[in-house]
A and B are shown apart, each in its own frame.
Chain A
């Protein structure tokens, strides 16, 4: 280990560092950079700060256990087929990083490019989908428009019966899309960042940001005050609470987002199917569970438990699309707290407080962006200026009006 702080054998547990994928030390009194939130984005940001910018005096503070929030709760879908140029830039950058990430981290992520279908159920869906395919191609993002028979070829278990309430009229298809094992992604990044000297401080909740003279100075935590040269928020559903302690208001609303898995089944589902209109998205995990996500619960909430009628609607939609799921049993349902922005695009960049950076508003779709946002956010923190790929996603776009409206491509209606 190198760097200004001792990062040697840990004394707070019976097991030596060599037995663990990442260190979990008592926090130092001060760091050059404190990252608030040890989810996928926070961990990846720490990794790229160390790897790309040589900034290693970094602590990632996590109120629970590492990657135990939305990183442990998402449905792991990866794609980059968003409509606008700004989105194509950052999501496609992420996808290109995904394609080399197992080699980069030296860690198996079960990254599987099994393709992603986004279904169209109405004439308007078809028009929007075809438009998005064309936009994707212009941005160098792989995309095809499939008619119902072609959808059936890609995913034989889907029903293309035209008599259903929401018939499949076609789909966009991104062959390079797919899934990865979310836990492994967090662990792989944490292991690599830890080896570069980053501290991961778990069970350390940030309760306040200390600001004086227009600049952030420290974070107050449940494990004491930690001075910080720069503070980078990456707290997903709790972003507005943390930012609020520095007087920064964010245009996000927190909602519960639910998902579920079935019992383990034989491999039946070869790809990823998403439907904006009926609010369901389905893939099959390597182990065999069908993984399904729902739309958000309507009301603001910080609860990780949602309403049953959302799950009921989601299952009804899934059964119409996949009649063969009728006899599958639900193994487990859960919820996470997601921060939804007005234009269904993230906010990544500077704040009115010097040295305070924000990464939030990813809503229902942050997992896929993990490598890309880590890369760009690290650049923003290290240089004090946004990376060109996150420059459009400023907080002040809500004042200037330069929104990046991705409601059509966000897959879950926000």
Chain B
């Protein structure tokens, strides 16, 4: 089980959190202007690296706020957490 550092509540067990996938995926500014391919890229394609990965977590059983963690998908080492 991961020990996840919530920026507001501190380190808590993974069971208290909900996963949100890749971080920093912005909603397109003008979705109607996108081609089908661009829309597909936004909707379905995410990075899937072996190594450091910036990802979203929600502290559902705590403060219920979203934040971003950088975790290595090979080692689970968490190197960074930020409130955005």
Q: Which residues of A contact B (CB under 8 A)?
A: 238, 240-241, 249-254, 298-303, 307-309, 342, 398-401
Q: In the complex, what distance in Å separates the CA atom of A307 from the CA atom of B4?
A: 13
B interface, by DSSP: helix, strand, loop or mixed? mixed
- Cβ A299 vs Cβ B36 within 8 A: no
- Cβ A299 vs Cβ B55 within 8 A: yes
A interface, by DSSP: helix, strand, loop or mixed? mixed
B1-20 residues at the A interface, CB under 8 angstroms: 1-2, 13-15, 18-19
Q: In the complex, what distance in Å separates the CA atom of A183 from the CA atom of B13?
A: 36
- Cβ B50 vs Cβ A241 within 8 A: yes
Interface membership of B46, Cβ < 8 A? yes
Q: For B73, what are the chain A residues with a Cβ–Cβ distance below 8 Å?
A: 254, 300-303
Contact of A298 among B19, B43, B49, B50 (CB under 8 A): B19
Q: For A307, what are the chain B residues with a Cβ–Cβ distance below 8 Å?
A: 1-2, 14
Known contacts A254-B73, A303-B73, A308-B1; is-contact A342 B44 (Cβ 8 Å): yes
- Cβ B44 vs Cβ A251 within 8 A: yes
- Cβ B48 vs Cβ A309 within 8 A: no
Residue of B at shortest CB range from A308? B1
- Cβ A309 vs Cβ B44 within 8 A: no
B43 to chain A, nearest CB (A): 8
Residue of B at shortest CB range from A399? B40
A-B contact pairs, 5 of them (CB 8 A): A250-B45, A298-B19, A302-B73, A398-B44, A401-B36
5 further interface pairs, Cβ-Cβ under 8 Å (given A249-B45, A251-B44, A253-B48): A251-B46, A298-B14, A300-B21, A300-B55, A400-B36
- Cβ B71 vs Cβ A254 within 8 A: no
Q: In the complex, what distance in Å separates the CA atom of A249 from the CA atom of B40?
A: 12
A406 to chain B, nearest CB (A): 15
- Cβ A299 vs Cβ B50 within 8 A: no
Q: For B82, what are the chain A residues with a Cβ–Cβ distance below 8 Å?
A: none
Contact of A240 among B13, B48, B71 (CB under 8 A): B48
- Cβ B45 vs Cβ A302 within 8 A: no
Contact of A300 among B15, B36, B53 (CB under 8 A): B53
Q: For A398, what are the chain B residues with a Cβ–Cβ distance below 8 Å?
A: 40, 43-45
- Cβ A309 vs Cβ B55 within 8 A: no
- Cβ B76 vs Cβ A303 within 8 A: yes
Residue of B at shortest CB range from A254? B48
Q: Which 8 pairs of residues, A with B, have the shortest CB-CB distance?
A: A298-B19, A399-B40, A251-B44, A240-B48, A307-B1, A398-B44, A342-B44, A398-B40
Known contacts A253-B21, A309-B15, A398-B40; is-contact A303 B74 (Cβ 8 Å): yes
A311 to chain B, nearest CB (A): 10
Q: In the complex, what distance in Å separates the CA atom of A298 from the CA atom of B14?
A: 10
Q: In the complex, what distance in Å separates the CA atom of A384 from the CA atom of B36?
A: 25
Residue of B at shortest CB range from A307? B1
Q: For B14, what are the chain A residues with a Cβ–Cβ distance below 8 Å?
A: 298-299, 307, 309
Residue of A at shortest CB range from B38? A399
